[in-house]
Amino acid sequence: GDSVTQMEGPVTLSEEAFLTINCTYTATGYPSLFWYVQYPGEGLQLLLKATKADDKGSNKGFEATYRKETTSFHLEKGSVQVSDSAVYFCALSDLNYGQNFVFGPGTRLSVLP
């Protein structure tokens, strides 16, 4: 079946550092890709998405590009803030092949002042 792999962390950065969280996937078909963020004590929130190759999703300074050739959807931010400390989940959905949502294990990010 389809699967998502991401670096599990934890990742610890200083404020204003550059962030990359790697995500790769395996899928039978042509999935849609998502990044979710979970702040302490809260549910998962959609951060950004991309639905076809070379699409770039962006939100709140975060970006990720759908790379079909490398089956990747890496999350990046140029300058992280303390408020970005959270757990980040990569996910895919492939309804064409009957595959509903598959989540990666999550990556915990801690940003230090």
Partner 1 sequence: DAGVIQSPRHEVTEMGQEVTLRCKPISGHNSLFWYRQTMMRGLELLIYFNNNVPIDDSGMPEDRFSAKMPNASFSTLKIQPSEPRDSAVYFCASSSLTIGQPQHFGDGTRLSIL
Q: Indicate whether 105 belongs to the interface with partner 1 (CB under 8 A).
A: yes
For partner 1, which is the closer residue by CB, 31 or 84? 31
Is residue 106 a contact residue for partner 1 (CB under 8 A)? yes
Give residues 6-25 in contact with partner 1 (rule: CB under 8 A). none
For residue 93, the cross-strand partners are 32
Ranges within 24-83 binding partner 1 (CB under 8 A): 32, 34, 36, 42-46, 49, 51
Give the burial class of 113: count Cβ atoms within 10 A of its Cβ; 0-12 exposed, 13-18 middle, 19 or more buried: exposed
Location of structure tokens 């140029």: 78
Closest to 29 measured CA to CA, from 107, 96, 104 = 96
Number of residues that bind partner 1 (CB under 8 A): 20
96 is a site residue for partner 1 (CB under 8 A): yes
Kindly tell me the sign of the dihedral angle through the C-alpha atoms of 78, 60, 49, 37: positive
User: Interface with partner 1 by CB under 8 A: which residues?
Assistant: 32, 34, 36, 42-46, 49, 51, 89, 91, 93, 95-96, 100-101, 103, 105-106
